[in-house]
């Protein structure tokens, strides 16, 4: 029986004021997973009011006490990992081991941020004056808005929620309309862990009815968003003076040098290009290969690609795209690639029947000026780009407007470190794929990938807190910094 799910506002599960609902579907077979509230501005107002009302008490709760709840969340997620991992696969489509990994990432980040409850580090430093003490501390921002994507429907909300909560903020959370059930289940875990009423509020619905109202709401003090560049620009233009964190995607390169371990590189390209059906901001959509090993590399890549099974993520290697819109968007890009003169080596077709399935697709002879080499496709499409040397590889890698993740396969330590220095990206991997961030290290990018903010690790604390500078003068007299005494 399909369930009917409500918003979570001020500690209660309630219907939207709109009286409208929408459905969530399994992208592998089109079955309905549940009905959800199609919320409006009144619902957002109620959630914001609840968050602001709860802020004083929550922000004054000692951080180690806040941390106890986060640890309980991690413990509950561990017990429910198999169930929730399967749900991620059913609602988002990624293969089961990735669905389980999605939940494990949430476990990891809640455990990590639990530890930050004993730190929330500032720093001490000297003063230019005698008998004066100087330091910084971290302070919460207030009620904050979180807007998350569908490709990591538990992990990315967990990144944002855990950091926001340990810093003492309260939350209004809007998940993607394609994966609301995962969000509901995550909030139920927080509720079970004992989160006080009003501290976390869930409002489901679309971008224009819910997202825009969250972004523009005068009583929210910060916005954290993961999604497209187009929406990110709109948020930057409309959020006003709020603190805004944006993570907006990538067009990530893997460089394969002439001395690379080709079997290792092929495995990294397969994982980076076709893992999550290419629906990752860190997906390896561009593979820049030295001409000296191009033929051998392509043969190995094609052989392994053709062994991949396509179908329901519960039992196959490559699952469905999230919805029909994304399916046809990917196909349009493939047609553009053919028209531009790229050579299609395999794939390039929609798989007819139930579900949003697309063949794993590989192009070669792709040049840096082609649309398929510059724009984020967000599907199982790999563009192989031949180059003649390391300098050309770096030039091609840096030729896009994005700068999230990057990788190089080489056994030359000099080239590896030169790539680390020269690749324009927030993350660089050596002899590994563009996928694989760990929660205790910062995540984010440069150029159009975002606005300079980072998530996870200590940078997650910085995103969801403010720096306050403290001076304590114990001289017993008025001392004036930068002013000489008469």
Q: Which tens digit of pLDDT belongs to each residue from 324-374?
A: 999 999 999 999 999 999 999 999 999 999 999 999 999 999 999 999 999
| pLDDT tens profile 80-89 | 999 999 999 9
Per the CB < 8 A criterion, the answer to whether 375 and 333 are in contact is yes
pLDDT tens, position by position, 422-456: 999 999 999 999 999 999 999 999 999 999 999 99
Give the sheet arrangement for strand 243-247, strand by strand: 12-14, 7-9, 200-202, 170-174, 143-147, 222-226, 243-247
The answer to whether the beta carbons of residues 267 and 374 sit under 8 Å apart is no
pLDDT at res. 22: 97
Q: Is 3 exposed, middle or buried (0-12, 13-18, 19+ CB in 10 A)?
A: exposed
> What is the fold of 253-430?
Aldehyde Dehydrogenase; Chain A, domain 2 (3.40.309)
Contact 407/436 with Cβ under 8 angstroms?
no
Report the chain's mean pLDDT, rounded to a whole number.
97
Annotated catalytic, 395?
no
pLDDT at 486 > cutoff 80:
no
CA dist., res. 269 & res. 254, Å (int): 7
- Integer CA distances (angstroms), 206 to 11, 79, 84, 114, in order: 22, 31, 23, 31
> Among the options 98, 111, 116, 247, which is catalytic?
247
Helix (H) or strand (E) holding 245: strand 243-247
Instruction: Please name the helix (run of DSSP H) or strand (run of DSSP E) that holds residue 55, with its range, or none.
Output: helix 41-60
Determine the Cα–Cα distance for residues 103 and 87; give it in Å rounded to an integer.
10
pLDDT at 195: 98
Residues composing the chain: 486
The CATH architecture of the domain made up of 3-248+450-470 is 3-Layer(aba) Sandwich (3.40)
pLDDT for 485 equals 72
Question: In whole angstroms, what is the distance from residue 25 CA to residue 347 CA?
Answer: 26
Residue 87 phi, psi (nearest 5): -65, -40
Is 91 tagged catalytic? no
Tokens of 351: 């798989």
Q: What is the pLDDT of residue 78?
A: 98
Positions of E strands within 263-389: 286-290, 343-346, 350-351, 357-358, 361-364, 381-387
Structural contact between residues 36 and 20, judged by C-beta atoms closer than 8 angstroms = no
**Every domain of the chain and the residues it spans:** 3-248+450-470, 253-430
Collapsed DSSP state (helix, strand, coil) of residue 441: coil
pLDDT at 484 over 90: no
Place of tokens 């009302």: 53
Q: Which one of 167, 182, 281, 383 is the catalytic residue?
A: 281
CA-nearest of 255, 247, 290, 229 to 399 is: 255
Angular region, 210: left φ>0, alpha ψ -120 to 50, beta rest: alpha
pLDDT in tens, 393-404: 999 999 999 999
**Can you tell me the distance from the alpha carbon of 434 to that of 271, in angstroms, rounded to the nearest whole number?**
9
Rounded CA-CA distance 385/253 in Å is 10
Q: Is 169 exposed, middle or buried (0-12, 13-18, 19+ CB in 10 A)?
A: buried
For CA atoms 344, 350, 351, 352, give the dihedral sign: negative
As a whole number, mean pLDDT of residues 238-262 equals 96
- Residues of the chain with pLDDT > 90, as a percent, come to 98
Confidence of residue 1 (pLDDT cuts 50, 70, 90): low
The CA-based angle 334-336-340, given to 5 degrees, is 120
The Cα 44–Cα 210 span in angstroms is 7
User: How far lies 464's CA from each of 118, 120, 159, in Å?
Assistant: 16, 11, 11
């Amino acid at each position: 029986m399909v369930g009917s799910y409500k918003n979570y506002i001020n500690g209660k599960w309630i219907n939207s004021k709109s009286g409208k609902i929408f459905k969530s579907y399994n992208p592998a077979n089109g079955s309905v997973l549940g009905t959800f509230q199609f919320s409006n501005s009144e619902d957002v107002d109620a959630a914001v009011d609840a968050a602001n009302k709860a802020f004083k008490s929550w922000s004054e709760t000692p951080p180690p006490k806040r941390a106890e709840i986060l640890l309980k969340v991690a413990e509950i997620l561990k017990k429910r990992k198999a169930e929730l991992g399967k749900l991620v696969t059913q609602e988002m489509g990624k293969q089961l081991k990735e669905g389980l990994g999605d939940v494990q990432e949430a476990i990891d980040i809640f455990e990590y941020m639990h530890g930050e409850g004993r730190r929330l580090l500032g720093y001490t430093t000297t003063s230019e004056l005698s008998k004066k003490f100087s330091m910084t501390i971290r302070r919460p921002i207030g009620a904050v808005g979180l807007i998350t994507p569908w490709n990591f429907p538990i992990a990315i909300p967990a990144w944002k929620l855990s950091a926001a909560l340990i810093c003492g903020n309260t939350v209004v959370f809007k998940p993607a309309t394609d994966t609301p059930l995962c969000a509901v289940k995550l909030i139920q875990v927080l509720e079970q862990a004992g989160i006080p009423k009003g501290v976390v509020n869930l409002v489901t619905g679309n971008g224009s009815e819910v997202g825009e109202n969250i972004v523009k709401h005068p009583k929210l003090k910060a916005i954290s968003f993961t999604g497209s560049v187009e929406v990110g620009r709109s948020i930057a233009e409309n959020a006003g003076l709020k603190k805004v964190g944006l993570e907006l995607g990538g067009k990530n390169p893997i460089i394969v040098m002439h001395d690379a371990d080709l079997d290792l590189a092929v495995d990294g390209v397969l994982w980076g290009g076709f893992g999550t059906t290419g629906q990752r901001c860190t997906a390896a959509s561009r593979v820049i290969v030295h001409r000296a090993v191009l033929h051998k590399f392509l043969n190995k890549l094609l052989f392994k690609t053709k062994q991949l099974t396509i179908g329901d993520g519960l039992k196959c290697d490559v699952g469905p795209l999230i919805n029909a819109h994304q399916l046809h968007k990917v196909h349009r890009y493939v047609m553009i690639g053919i028209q531009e003169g790229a050579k299609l080596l395999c794939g390039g077709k929609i798989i007819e029947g139930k579900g949003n399935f697309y063949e794993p697709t590989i192009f070669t002879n792709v040049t840096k000026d082609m649309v398929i080499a510059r724009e984020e496709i967000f599907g199982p499409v790999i563009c192989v780009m031949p180059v003649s040397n390391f300098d050309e590889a770096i030039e091609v890698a840096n030729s896009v407007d994005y700068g999230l993740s990057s990788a190089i396969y080489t056994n030359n330590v000099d080239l590896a470190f030169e790539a680390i220095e020269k690749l324009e990206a927030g993350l660089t991997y050596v002899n590994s794929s563009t996928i694989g961030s760990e929660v205790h290290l910062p995540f984010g990018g440069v150029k159009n990938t975002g606005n300079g903010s980072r998530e996870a690790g200590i940078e997650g604390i910085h995103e969801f807190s403010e720096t306050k500078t403290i001076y304590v003068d114990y001289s017993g007299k008025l001392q004036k910094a930068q002013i000489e005494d008469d």
